[in-house]
Structure 1
Amino acid sequence: MISKFAESYYSIPMKKHGMVPDHSFFEGMVGCMLSTTPKDHYKNLEEGIIVIKKSKTFGFCKEGVLVEGESTLVKSDIVIFGTGFNGDQNIKDMFISKYFHTIVVGSTSTATPLYRSSL
């Protein structure tokens, strides 16, 4: 019952910004899939400092990112991939360059390949 109250409370700002996960709060809790947001996260979303774009495909260019389904360029200094819980699998074939593929995906012996050699 407490998890339903927590889910209702936390889902209000998440719904507003299209961030509600497919699983319930309880499933996330028992599956260790809960995360926290940084201080002022929702305020920064409101002010446009952080912009969330969902897309299956995208492309980089000198000025920013081209997002599938959008006619205008998203000017950006930093791009953060929110790939879900199997991030290494989700971006496995994203990079043509062997160098970037190795940095992002890593080898099977690395525990957290997504964060190795990345800023």
Structure 2
Amino acid sequence: MPGTTAAALGQRIETARHAAGLTRRQVFDVSGVSISMIRKTEGGERWPSDAVLDALARAVQTTPEELLGGPAAPTAGSTRPSPSWRASTYGTPRYWPGASGSGSTTAPQSARTA
């Protein structure tokens, strides 16, 4: 979210982790995000990638949007937000792994919808 600092995001992640009653080790076990990355993110030293933020949010039972201090994500049963919605929410382009070229913003054919 515009105006969200790494320190503010880290504090929200740490607060959500404590509210869920989890240690960093437990978040690692659930999310696969390294303990070092969790520590650096919570400490405001690193800004997490979309994938890391998604994994941390799932581990602490919240949404990336709530961690970023923005609007809540669509509820279960609603349609999944489009990549363009994610890009506008996070304020960064959405890169597609497996697309041609490094850092391509073009969705691979399998991810495109008609």
Bigger RCO of structures 1 and 2 (CA < 8 A, at least 6 apart): 2
TM-score (norm 1): 0.24
Higher strand share: 1
Q: Higher helix fraction: Structure 1 or Structure 2?
A: 2
